[in-house]
Amino acid sequence: MQSTKIYDQEHQWFMFGRDPEKPESIIDTNQYMIVAGKRALLMDPGGIEVFAPMLGAILHHAKVDEITDLFASHQDPDIISSLGLWDQALPHAKLHSPWLWEGFLRHFGMNNIEYIPIPDEGSMLNLGSVELEFIPAHYLHSSGNFHVYDKKAKILMSGDVGAALEATDSPLFVEDFDEHVPKMKMFHQRWMPSNRAKNDWVKRARELDIEYMAPQHGRIFKGDDVGKFLDWFEVLEVGLAISEDE
Amino acid sequence: MPSNSEYQENKLVALASIAAELQMVMSVAWGVSLAAKNAKVISAQAGDKGLGFQPITEFIDEISRQAMTGVEDINREALRLSKITVNEQRSADAFRRFDLVRKKNTDAQYIKSMQSAMEQVENTLFKNTQEFKKSLSDLSLQMEAMKQCMLSARAIASVSRIVTSNAQEYSDKLKVVADDLDQAAIYIKDKLLDSYTHLNNVNVQGRLN
* Chain A touched by B110 (CB under 8 Å): yes
- Can you tell me the distance from the alpha carbon of B15 to that of B164, in angstroms, rounded to the nearest whole number? 41
Question: Which residue in A58, A60, A114 sits closest to A91, CA to CA?
Answer: A114
Chain B residues in contact with A66 by the CB 8 A cut-off are: 113
Point out the residue among A51, A84, A88 whose CB comes nearest to the CB of B117: A88
| Contact status, residue B26 vs residue B68, Cβ threshold 8 Å | yes
Q: Name the minimum distance, in Å, from the CA of B109 to any CA of chain A.
A: 5
Q: What is the distance in angstroms between the Cα of A15 and the nearest Cα belonging to chain B?
A: 17
| Subunit contact B116:A89, Cβ cutoff 8 A | no
Q: Does B116 touch chain A (CB under 8 A)?
A: yes
Query: Going residue by residue through chain A (246 aa), what tens digit of pLDDT does each one get?
Result: 999 999 999 999 999 999 888 888 899 999 999 999 999 999 999 999 999 999 999 999 999 999 999 999 999 999 999 999 999 999 999 999 999 999 999 999 999 999 999 999 999 999 999 999 999 999 999 999 999 999 999 999 999 999 999 888 899 999 999 999 999 999 999 999 999 999 999 999 999 999 999 999 999 999 999 999 999 999 999 998 886 655
Residue B104: closest CA among chain A residues belongs to which residue?
A: A56
Gyration radius from chain A CA atoms: 17
Domain range summary for chain B, segments of one domain joined by +: 4-94+130-208
Instruction: Answer whether B83 touches A (CB < 8 Å).
Output: no
What is the pLDDT, as a whole number, of residue A43? 98
- B117 touches A: beta carbon within 8 Å: yes
Map out the domains of chain A with their CATH numbers. Answer: 2-235 (3.60.15.10)
Instruction: Tell me the pLDDT tens digit for each residue of A187-218.
Output: 999 999 999 999 999 999 999 999 999 999 99
CA-wise closest residue to B104 among B117, B114, B116, B90: B114
- Cross-chain CB nearest to B117 (options A60, A89, A109): A89
Nearest residue of B to residue A55 by CA position?
B101
| Residues of chain A with C-beta less than 8 angstroms from the C-beta of B93 | 85
Q: Which residues 6+ apart lie within 8 Å of A229 measured at CB?
A: A162, A177, A213, A221
- ipTM comes to 0.87
Distance from CA of A17 to the nearest CA of B (A): 16
Q: Calculate ∠ Cα A59-A65-A66, nearest 5°.
A: 75
Chain B residue nearest residue A91, CA to CA: B117
Instruction: Write the DSSP string, chain B.
Output: ---HHHHHHHHHHHHHHHHHHHHHHHHHHHHHHHHHHHHHHHHHHHGGGGTTTHHHHHHHHHHHHHHHHHHHHHHHHHHHHHHHHHHHHHHHHHHHHHHHHHHHTTT-TTGGGGHHHHHHHHHHHHHHHHHHHHHHHHHHHHHHHHHHHHHHHHHHHHHHHHHHTTSGGGHHHHHHHHHHHHHHHHHHHHHHHHHHHHHHHHHHHHHH-
Per-residue pLDDT of chain B (209 residues; tens, 9 = 90+): 556 666 665 778 888 888 787 777 888 888 888 878 888 888 888 888 878 888 888 888 888 888 889 888 988 888 898 899 889 889 999 999 999 999 999 999 999 999 999 999 999 999 999 998 999 899 889 988 988 988 988 998 888 888 887 777 888 888 888 888 889 889 988 888 888 888 877 765 554 44
> Residue B122, Cα to own-chain centre: how many angstroms?
30
To the nearest 10 degrees (0 to 180), the angle between helices A51-58 and B54-104 is: 40
d(CA A80, CA A70): 10
Q: Is A65 on the interface with B (CB under 8 A)?
A: yes
Chain segment A117-139, per-residue pLDDT in tens: 999 999 999 999 999 999 999 99
Q: Which amino acid is at B1?
A: M
Return the number of other C-beta atoms located less than 10 Å from residue B137's C-beta. Answer: 10
Given an 8 Å threshold on Cβ–Cβ distance, is B109 in contact with A51? no
Whether residue B56 contacts residue B116, with contact meaning beta carbons closer than 8 Å, is answered with: no
